Structures are given as structure tokens and as C-alpha cells.
């Protein structure tokens, strides 16, 4: 019998995000952790994508670079930044960052509208 082709999907990333938000996903602390922005919160990139892989049944441990590729495959727009993470507490985007993101997205929309 052929093996089932297991492939991580966007729904697995979203599940991992919810588990992380609930404080039930382990990830590294420290300065300069690569994180991606989702719903006004910075999530640890490699840990979230690797955890989603576990949910999907792939059971792969993603490197930072592989996680970046995978997250870009799953979402139309991705913002990645190095964040200082302490005590496994997720950081929310601040007002200045929100305004900057609005400006960037507005510029992108304007280029599409021309």
C-alpha cells in the first residue's frame, strides 16, 4: 500500500498559532528570535512552523530559512523581524509598528491599483 503524502497546510499553521497564543507551545527565549507578525502579535517563526509540521503529521524540524520559505508559501503577506522574547511571552505590535505596516500595505495597494 502506498504511503499517504503528508503535507502541511495553512490550517496547520493557524492551529499552531492558536496553541502558541494559549501558551501551550514550547519555544526558545532570548534576544533576536525570528518572529512573524500575525493578528497584531509576533510569533516565533521556526517553532510555530515546526509545531504545525507536528500537527500535520510531517514531524519535521524546520530551520529558520526553511520556516521562512514555508510561511511565505502559506500567507500572501508576511512580516518577519527579530524580536526579544522573554519568559515565553508573545509581543504585540505597537502603535508605531502598526502605522508603519499600514503605510507599507497602502503603498503596495496603490501600486496594484495603477
Per-residue pLDDT tens for 26-39? 888 888 899 999 99
Domain span at residue 41 reads 10-113
Q: Is residue 59 part of a domain?
A: yes
Q: Tell me how many domains the chain contains.
A: 1
Q: Is residue 34 part of a domain?
A: yes
Query: What is the pTM assigned to this prediction?
Result: 0.85
Q: What residues have CB less than 8 Å from 46, skipping those under 6 apart?
A: 34, 62, 63, 64, 67
pLDDT value at 64 more than 70: yes
- Give dist(CA 6, CA 79) in Å, integer: 27
Q: Are 64 and 45 in contact (CB under 8 A)?
A: yes
- Give dist(CA 58, CA 96) in Å, integer: 38
pLDDT value at 1 more than 70: no
Burial of residue 36 (CB within 10 Å: 0-12, 13-18, 19+) is buried
Q: Is residue 38 part of a domain?
A: yes
Amino acid at each position: 500500500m502506498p504511503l499517504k503524502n503528508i503535507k502541511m497546510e495553512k490550517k496547520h499553521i493557524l492551529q499552531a498559532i492558536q496553541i502558541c497564543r494559549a501558551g501551550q507551545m514550547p519555544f526558545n527565549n532570548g534576544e533576536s528570535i525570528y518572529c512573524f507578525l500575525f493578528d497584531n502579535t509576533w510569533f516565533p517563526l521556526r517553532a510555530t512552523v515546526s509545531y504545525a509540521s507536528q500537527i500535520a503529521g510531517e514531524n519535521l524540524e524546520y530551520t529558520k530559512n526553511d520556516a521562512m520559505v514555508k510561511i511565505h508559501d502559506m500567507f500572501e503577506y508576511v512580516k518577519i523581524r527579530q524580536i526579544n522574547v522573554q519568559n515565553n511571552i508573545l509581543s504585540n505590535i505597537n502603535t508605531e509598528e502598526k502605522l508603519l505596516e499600514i503605510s507599507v500595505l497602502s503603498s503596495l495597494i496603490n501600486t496594484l491599483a495603477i
